[in-house]
Structure 1
Amino acid sequence: MTVDDLTHGAHAPATKDVRPAPGVSLRTRGGARSRRRVSGWVVLVVVGAAALLMIFPFWIAVINGFKPSAEYIQDGPMSLPSRLDLSTLVTFWRGVDFNGKLLNSVIISGSVALIAALLSLLSAFAIGIGRIKGRVWILAVFMVAFTIPQEALVYPLFVLTRDLGLYDTLPGVIIILAVLQSAFGTYMLSSVLGAFPREVLEAARIDGASRRQILGRIVFPLTRPTLSVLVTFFFIWTWNDFFLPLILLPSAANQTVSVSLGALSGQYTSDPTALAAASLAGFLPALVFFLVFQRTLMRGVNLGAVK
């Protein structure tokens, strides 16, 4: 044994093999893998069952909307139609002037979605980036605003629209729904703009950019995915809104799709195929809109999750 061996042995750290036994490690890993596999199958089964429960009403409306009345009476609602019968759908479409109802819903929903998104952006810009005083209390007011039920607001809104000459008009409903929807949009965008990089804003101010230029050239392009999500949500929410259009649009010429379907449900109780055709005509436009903007919606949601 040399001196170097003694020196290295004196200074070498004492090591100890603490690795678990190979059998125990394999059993542990195998058990964890099997538990993950079982939990994955459970989640898949639950999600599949929930999807079937949600799709089932649409499936019933589709197969009965194109089914003759005699075949419905003979075979029941669960049977597939032997042939596609469009007569019930065409009769309903022409009988209630569904083109006019569809146009009203598109005008109201599209206008509310765009105006509410614009109001949300302007308000959130002032609160999140402008850092106005009392921003916490203002956000609390917005949070309370979009949680108030519509039933508590219907009488003041009725009196307001009547006194302003906006009762039973599309602009009156558009203004009211846009303001109500913008409360949620302001609350959501304020948290996004509150975390906006201050260095970018300071660099823009040093370069001489005004607040309008900062909003239009910096903030708006970066928040466009979030705004697209808000526009999609606002459109679908407004399309499905029933209570306020029912109260503020009493005339048949200004009715929306949801109101017309609610008014006709009693009329077509004795004809289930006509009621199924009316339901089919009601939810198909919203479904088409969602499918068209699905990629934009998912891109905005994923971008928000990454941020």
Structure 2
Amino acid sequence: MSAVLDETTATLEASVLEPPKDREGRQRGRRGRSRGGGPTRRTTGDWVVLLVAIVLGFLIAVPFLMILINSFKSPADYSTSGPLTLPTSLYFDGIVAFWERVDFPQKLGNSIFISGLVAVFAVALSMFNAFALGIGRVKGRLWIVVIILLANMLPQEVLLYPLYFMFKEVGLYDSQWAVIIIFTVIQSAFGTYLLASVYGTFPKELLEAASLDGASRWQILWRVVYPISRPTLSVLLIFFFIWTWNEFLIPLTFLVSNDTQTVPVAITVLQGDRLMDVTTTSASALLGLIPTLVFFLIFQRTLTRGITAGAVK
């Protein structure tokens, strides 16, 4: 009898001490099992989608695999076996030649400096503009957003001569700050368009509550709007960094000196008029790809959280 009482007491203590969420989850699991529920079986459509995704992923990965393979091939090995075979022996002279010929650490620092500042400045400018358009409700906001969108759709070739003349007059030609200013404006145009639509649906109750508490416009932006929109701003920061890193035409036009050039511009040094070393070019592409890949892997979790933010309420 005492054993039965002890067992009953232990069961009651466990049920009281068990968190409510755990009890609810356990009860739902029991109800699911009682209804005959089990692991969901994949349908034929699911397997087709999975197969298509694998094929697309393989096609996307093929160029990167070719760059990786040919980066460690000698020119003789490439000429005899072609670009699709594995190297017979590891060849590092292509990487060393590109590293020394273009002073890769300097070009890497220039790209990180330009891309980092553009990402930070463009996100900040996009947030201020979107706050004025989406929450501040300035007059003619719709037309302003349309003009920003149309300006963002202009090709860079159209902007080259006006920008060249402008920065030549102010003495910023062949300066990294010219590229930083240009890409800050270009990237912030897209960020303003995106954030303005997001801030336009911002809960008015939060803004009214903050105003009743005596918060100023700056305090509302910094203490209410910014913490809630931080995942979206993080995604924009990552995209702006990668987009600016991969830009080629404007840096090629405005960065003439060897000391100010970026990694994509430095890769073109290896391409001659009638001769191109494929293995060294592949090595240069590999070195230019590694920093962005590392950056993406570091902020992959931030990117995933930012994309899925708001998907589940």
Summarize the alignment of residues 1-307 of structure 1 with structure 2, pairs less than 5 Å apart: 37-266=43-272, 269-306=275-312
Does the aligned pair in 2 maintain the 1:268–1:275 contact within 8 Å?
no
* TM-score, normalised with respect to structure 1: 0.85
Q: Which of 98-107 and 261-270 deviates more?
A: 261-270
Larger radius of gyration: 1
> AA paired with 1:213?
Q
Distance 1:297 1:269 in 2: 41
| Structure 1 unmatched ranges of 5 or more | 1-32
CA deviation string 1:41-86 (max 9, x = no partner): 2222222221111111110111111122332233222221233322
How far the C-alpha of 1:268 sits from its partner, in A, is 9.2
Does the aligned pair in 2 maintain the 1:268–1:274 contact within 8 Å?
no
CA deviation string 1:107-137 (max 9, x = no partner): 0100000000000000000111111111111
CA deviation string 1:179-229 (max 9, x = no partner): 110000001001111111111111111111111111111111111100000
| Structure 2 unmatched ranges of 5 or more | 1-39
Does the aligned pair in 1 maintain the 2:270–2:277 contact within 8 Å?
no
Quote the RMSD (CA, aligned, Å): 1.8
CA deviation string 1:236-272 (max 9, x = no partner): 1000111111111122211111111134233794422
Question: Across the two proteins, how many residue pairs are aligned to each other?
Answer: 274
What percentage of residue pairs aligned between the two structures are identical?
Answer: 53
Paired residue secondary structure (1:234)? helix
Distance 1:225 1:109 in 2: 20
CA deviation string 1:159-191 (max 9, x = no partner): 111111111101111011101100000010011
Distance 2:305 2:269 in 1: 38
How far the C-alpha of 1:304 sits from its partner, in A, is 4.3
Does the aligned pair in 2 maintain the 1:113–1:178 contact within 8 Å?
yes
* TM-score, normalised with respect to structure 2: 0.83
Does the aligned pair in 1 maintain the 2:73–2:87 contact within 8 Å?
yes
Distance 2:218 2:157 in 1: 38
Distance 1:167 1:303 in 2: 41
Distance 2:95 2:303 in 1: 31
* Residues 223 and 161 of structure 1, relative CA distance in 2, 3 Å threshold: same
Distance 2:219 2:243 in 1: 32
Distance 1:85 1:304 in 2: 49
Distance 1:169 1:127 in 2: 32
